[in-house]
């Protein structure tokens, strides 16, 4: 019985993540939520949804538990609306469609640009709050901000424009907010892969990446962390993070 319960938890988590209802980091929480239910209650909830009931029937067959191909096929077959219904039954909603995850009216940035930044951040494995704070510090959310060669939300050096446009498939328009968001998130994600950054964790990783962003790799090698820049950045980040608290 414990094996069946564990398989239910794991498969349900996989169903949710396969359809984007929850991220991979949510799997332990989803499994815990389902695992905490009495098995009879889990089955009772599942009986409302024929496809999930089919899954439970498959799991109840000893041969099926060792047939990974069959289990995978079942997951694929039921990874549609049923997973959304089951997610709601155990308290997990459709995360990526909840605009409170990314939209904040207090931030003076076009709504469509907030959404694009959210999408680019998720695609590139970046922290959304980090990116908002970086834009706040660099341009105060002014997509037309221009300081010498540095342009747009992320204050990207315009001399990089032709290569960035070619590599990322955009127009060479650094003062176009959508283009600048794509450039800036890509540029920062590349910094995270730098040998000086990639093996670090947490705040140490962020501090190093931001210092390279502000000073360049050579400047970081010569002078280390950009402490004044970081102090300003964290003030911005604290303010932005407060906007999303409790959402």
Number of domains in the chain: 2
**Does residue 138 share a domain with residue 49?**
no
What tens digit of pLDDT does each residue of 90-131 get?
444 444 458 999 999 999 999 999 999 999 999 999 999 999
pLDDT reported for residue 1: 44
pLDDT reported for residue 62: 41
In sequence order, which residues have a C-beta less than 8 Å from that of residue 192 and are 6 or more positions away?
A: 125, 126, 198, 205, 209
Q: Read off the pLDDT of each residue in 204-222 and give the average, rounded to a whole number.
A: 97
**Does residue 239 share a domain with residue 120?**
yes
**Does residue 180 share a domain with residue 219?**
yes
Residue that wins the pLDDT comparison between 218 and 85:
218
**Does residue 145 share a domain with residue 92?**
no
**Does residue 219 share a domain with residue 130?**
yes
Name which of 53-67, 86-100, 217-231 the model is least confident about. 53-67
Residue that wins the pLDDT comparison between 199 and 28:
199
Q: Read off the pLDDT of each residue in 55-77 and give the average, rounded to a whole number.
A: 47
**Does residue 147 share a domain with residue 195?**
yes
**How many residues in total does the chain contain?**
247
Q: Read off the pLDDT of each residue in 47-58 and give the average, rounded to a whole number.
A: 48
In sequence order, which residues have a C-beta less than 8 Å from that of residue 105 and are 6 or more positions away?
A: none
For residues 238 and 130, is the Cβ–Cβ distance under 8 A?
Answer: no
Domain of residue 187, residue span: 99-244
Token pair belonging to 156 = 């990207």
**Does residue 106 share a domain with residue 92?**
no
Q: Give the chain's end-to-end CA distance (angstroms, integer).
A: 38
Picking from 51, 78, 97, the residue at the C-terminal end of a domain is: 97
**Does residue 82 share a domain with residue 63?**
yes
- Rounded CA-CA distance 137/237 in Å is 9
Picking from 72, 97, 122, the residue at the C-terminal end of a domain is: 97
Token pair belonging to 53 = 């009931």
**Does residue 193 share a domain with residue 236?**
yes
Picking from 97, 112, 127, the residue at the C-terminal end of a domain is: 97
- Rounded CA-CA distance 42/9 in Å is 10
**Does residue 114 share a domain with residue 93?**
no
CATH for 187? 1.10.530.10
Residue that wins the pLDDT comparison between 159 and 10:
159
């Amino acid at each position: 019985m414990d094996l069946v319960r564990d398989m239910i938890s794991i498969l349900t988590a996989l169903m949710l993540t396969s359809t984007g209802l929850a991220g991979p980091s949510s799997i332990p929480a989803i499994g815990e939520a389902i695992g905490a239910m009495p098995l009879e209650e889990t089955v009772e909830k599942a009986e409302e949804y024929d496809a999930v009931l089919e899954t439970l029937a498959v799991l109840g067959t000893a041969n099926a538990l060792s047939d990974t191909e069959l289990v995978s096929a079942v997951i694929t077959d039921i990874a549609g609306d049923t997973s959304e219904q089951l997610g709601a039954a155990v308290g997990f909603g459709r995360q990526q469609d909840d605009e409170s995850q990314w939209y904040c009216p207090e931030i003076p940035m076009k709504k469509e640009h907030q959404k694009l930044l959210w999408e680019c951040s998720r695609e590139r494995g970046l922290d959304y709050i980090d990116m908002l704070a970086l834009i706040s510090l660099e341009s105060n959310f002014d997509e037309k901000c221009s300081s010498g060669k540095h342009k747009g939300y992320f204050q990207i050096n315009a001399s990089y424009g032709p290569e960035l446009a070619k590599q990322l498939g955009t127009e060479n328009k650094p003062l176009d907010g959508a283009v600048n968001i794509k450039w800036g998130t890509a540029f920062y994600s590349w910094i995270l892969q730098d040998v000086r950054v990639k093996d670090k964790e947490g705040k140490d990783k962020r501090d190093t990446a931001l210092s390279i962003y502000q000073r360049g790799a050579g400047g970081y090698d010569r002078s280390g962390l950009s402490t004044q820049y970081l102090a300003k950045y964290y003030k911005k980040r604290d303010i932005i993070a407060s906007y999303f608290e409790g959402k």
